[in-house]
Amino acid sequence: MILRFWIISLLTFSYSLVYSQNRTIVNDWKVYTESINNGYNIQFEYPQSLKFDRIENCCCLGKESKSTEYNNTMDWGIWITEPQDFTEPDSIYYKGLYNNDFSMKRETVLVSNLQAERTVFRQAKGDKYDEIIILKFEDCIFEITNSKAESVDFERFWKSIKIKKQ
């Protein structure tokens, strides 16, 4: 009976440690909200370990950079583009970038409860990786990009994005 009590106590204590560790991870994320001048509100979560910078038409995230031009490495971004300035990503550009050594996968995903197209380019014999999620509105296109590596953090980031017309 005493042994059973100790086992239950130990399991409860272990579970509480795991739970508190998960809570800490959740608390390491910030929320960013902005009203964009073209009539949209955007909100998303991002890890505190990344540096955020708003550069012209991009909400950029990455590691801190020593560049005099940008404050971060721009690994992730939400690019805001007008439809007339937008070019669909295609394999021709990536053939050159990846020396014809890549695979491409397209799928439909939901961003802010709206359909978006996700395209992943992955180098077959190397580490290059690009992910682009395109969400189209009549008067604005949001390109969510990841030029670093596949990660659950990036997935959490893009799934947290909320875009609403004002």
Domains delineated in the chain:
2-165 (3.40.1000)
pTM comes to 0.79
8 Å CB contact between 158 and 119: no
Determine the pLDDT at residue 19.
37
d(CA 58, CA 79): 4
H or E element at residue 125: none
Residue pLDDT, tens place only, 121-139: 998 888 889 999 999 988 9
Q: How sure is the predictor about 115, in pLDDT bands with cuts at 50, 70 and 90?
A: very high
Selected residue with higher pLDDT from 13 and 72: 72
55 burial via Cβ count (<10 Å: 0-12, 13-18, 19+) = middle
**For residue 131, what are the contacts with CB-CB under 8 A and spacing of at least 6?**
118, 119, 120, 121, 145, 146, 147, 150, 154
Least confident of 5-9, 29-33, 128-132, 140-144: 5-9
Pairing type for strands 51-55 and 40-47 reads unpaired
Residue type present at position 142? F
8 Å CB contact between 71 and 64: yes
Radius of gyration for the chain, computed over Cα atoms and rounded to the nearest angstrom: 20
Residue pLDDT, tens place only, 87-114: 888 888 888 888 889 899 999 999 999 9
Residue type present at position 38? N
The average confidence (pLDDT) of the chain is: 83
H or E element at residue 22: helix 2-27
Determine the pLDDT at residue 2.
63
3-state secondary structure of 26: helix
d(CA 71, CA 146): 17
The predicted model gives 73-86 an average pLDDT of: 92
8 Å CB contact between 141 and 134: yes
